[in-house]
């Protein structure tokens, strides 16, 4: 197990650096020149030859003439920066956001908190509903209730998230008026304590609902399929044959085994939600989360911020893949990994 874990972590690190190198190369496709930005105001006050000389000096000083791989190493923190010290991603320098005029690291706190809260709540609710629902559907397969739920799940996982978002805004915010259409808190409110919490939850309710609905659809199908597969196994037939009650068969023999494949898809689904789904949701509901920050950074061509966030997304998805594999081996002793 330890050997496997070590191997996976080494592999993860390698993939991370490969992806980051690719990202850095893509980032460098953008024709941007920090030296020119700095020198542009001086263009009128200096003679052209003098300006060109200073410009090239500055380029050299900033290290812009060095090969791509050297610049990548500096950015990552492998090589010494032009000022002689290590100052890269690995040292905690995530870059400087030109659109917010602040260090990237200071920008990430609040949006990340919001995104994590949103995803955590919706994940917990989804799982709390989806597992019993999936089991129920599998046990009562092809009956009216199951068919009805199947229709909903097909709709839920076929429709794009933003369409469900618009639909839910129309139903729950416009027609019924239960929730606000967007935002993170009542504008101009100065609530504290419990009221602040309730206000925040009120605003988070609708996005959560959308995420739960989309998550519910896919997960219920997974749970149902896994459960139906388990119910057709021989040991279930054996359990029934020896006269166990149906309840015992389902809740003692079947469902724990059915959840094994489900537990792995949960991780995959969470990564998808965190990197893709919440991006769309935060945009639809104007929530101040990581997805919205990412979009605004892309729109403002604030590429240091984009790059830092891209690294964050990559890390999230890599760790997610690792955890998926690990959870698979942890919950299912049949899967052997000490090869």
Smallest separation, CB 309 to other proteins (Å): 7
Least distance from C-beta 17 to other proteins, angstroms? Answer: 11
Q: Shortest gap between Cβ of 184 and other proteins (angstroms)? A: 15
**Is 181 within 8 Å of 287 (Cβ atoms)?**
no
Q: Which of 147, 137, 154, 151 is nearest to 223 (CA)?
A: 137
> 218: how many CB neighbours lie within 10 A of its CB?
18
Nearer to other proteins, 23 or 58 (CB): 23
At its nearest, how many Å lie between other proteins and the CB of residue 136?
20
Q: How far is the CB of 19 from other proteins (least distance, A)?
A: 6
Residue 125 CB, nearest approach to other proteins (Å): 23
d(CA 163, CA 292) in angstroms, rounded, equals 18
Specify the residue, 255 or 303, whose C-beta has the smaller distance to other proteins: 303
Taking the least distance from each CB to other proteins, the nearer of 169 and 258 is 169
Q: By C-beta, is 79 or 141 nearer to other proteins?
A: 141
Q: Does residue 337 contact residue 1 with C-beta atoms inside 8 Å?
A: yes
Q: Quick check: 115 and 122 in contact, CB under 8 A?
A: no
- Residue closer to other proteins, measured from CB, 114 or 283: 283
The CB density around residue 281, as the number of other CB atoms within 10 Å, is 28
Among candidates 308, 296, 303, 310, which has minimal Cα distance to 98?
Answer: 303
Classify each residue of 185-205 as buried b or exposed e, where b means 16 or more C-beta atoms within 10 Å of its C-beta.
eeeeeeeeeeeeeebbeebbe
What beta strand segments (E) does the chain contain?
Answer: 96-97, 102-103
Q: Which of 164, 179, 169 is nearest to 218 (CA)?
A: 164
Nearer residue to other proteins within complex by CB, 220 or 283: 283
Interface positions with other proteins (CB under 8 A):
15, 18-19, 23, 26-27, 29-30, 154-155, 157-163, 166-167, 169-170, 173-174, 181-182, 271-272, 275-276, 279-280, 283-284, 294-295, 298-299, 301, 306, 309-310, 313-314, 316-318, 321
In this complex, which beta carbon is closest to other proteins, that of residue 63 or of residue 182?
182
**3-state secondary structure (DSSP) of residue 85:** coil
Number of H helices, E strands in the chain: 14, 2
Q: Work out how close the CB of 154 gets to other proteins at its nearest, in angstroms, rounded to a whole number.
A: 6
Question: Which lies closer to other proteins via its Cβ, residue 222 or residue 310?
Answer: 310
Contact call for residues 318 and 16 (beta carbons, < 8 A):
yes
Question: What is the closest distance, in whole angstroms, from the C-beta atom of residue 54 to other proteins in the complex?
Answer: 29
Contact at 8 Å (CB) between 282 and 327? no
List the one residue out of 203, 212, 189 whose CA is nearest residue 289.
203
């Amino acid at each position: 197990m330890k050997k496997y874990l070590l191997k996976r972590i080494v592999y993860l690190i390698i993939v991370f650096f490969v992806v980051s190198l690719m990202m850095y190369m893509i980032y460098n496709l953008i024709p941007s020149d920090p030296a020119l930005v700095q020198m542009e105001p001086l263009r009128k006050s200096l003679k052209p030859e003098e300006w060109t000389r200073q410009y090239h000096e500055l380029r050299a000083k900033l290290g812009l003439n060095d090969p791509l791989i050297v610049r990548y190493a500096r950015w990552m923190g492998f090589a010494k920066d032009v000022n002689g010290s290590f100052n890269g991603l690995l040292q905690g320098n995530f870059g400087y956001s030109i659109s917010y005029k602040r260090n990237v690291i200071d920008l990430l706190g609040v949006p990340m908190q919001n995104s994590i809260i949103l995803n955590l709540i919706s994940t917990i609710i989804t799982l709390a509903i989806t597992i019993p629902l999936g089991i129920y559907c599998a046990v009562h397969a092809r009956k009216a209730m199951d068919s009805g739920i199947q229709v909903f799940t097909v709709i839920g996982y076929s429709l794009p998230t933003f369409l469900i978002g618009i639909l839910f805004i129309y139903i729950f915010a416009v027609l019924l008026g239960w929730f606000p259409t967007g935002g993170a808190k009542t504008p101009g409110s100065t609530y504290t304590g419990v009221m602040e919490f309730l206000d925040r939850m009120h605003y988070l309710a609708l996005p959560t609902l959308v995420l739960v609905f989309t998550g519910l659809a896919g997960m219920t199908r997974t749970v149902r399929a896994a459960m139906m597969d388990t119910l057709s196994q021989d040991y279930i037939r054996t359990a029934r044959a020896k006269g166990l009650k149906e309840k015992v068969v389902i809740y003692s023999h079947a469902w724990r085994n059915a959840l094994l494949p489900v537990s792995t898809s949960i991780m995959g689904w969470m990564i998808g939600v965190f990197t893709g789904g919440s991006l769309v949701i935060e945009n639809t509901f104007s929530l101040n989360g990581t997805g919205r920050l990412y979009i605004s950074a892309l729109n403002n061509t604030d590429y240091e911020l984009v790059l830092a966030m891209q690294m964050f997304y990559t890390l999230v998805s890599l760790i997610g893949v690792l955890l998926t594999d690990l959870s698979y081996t942890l919950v299912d002793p049949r899967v052997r990994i000490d090869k």
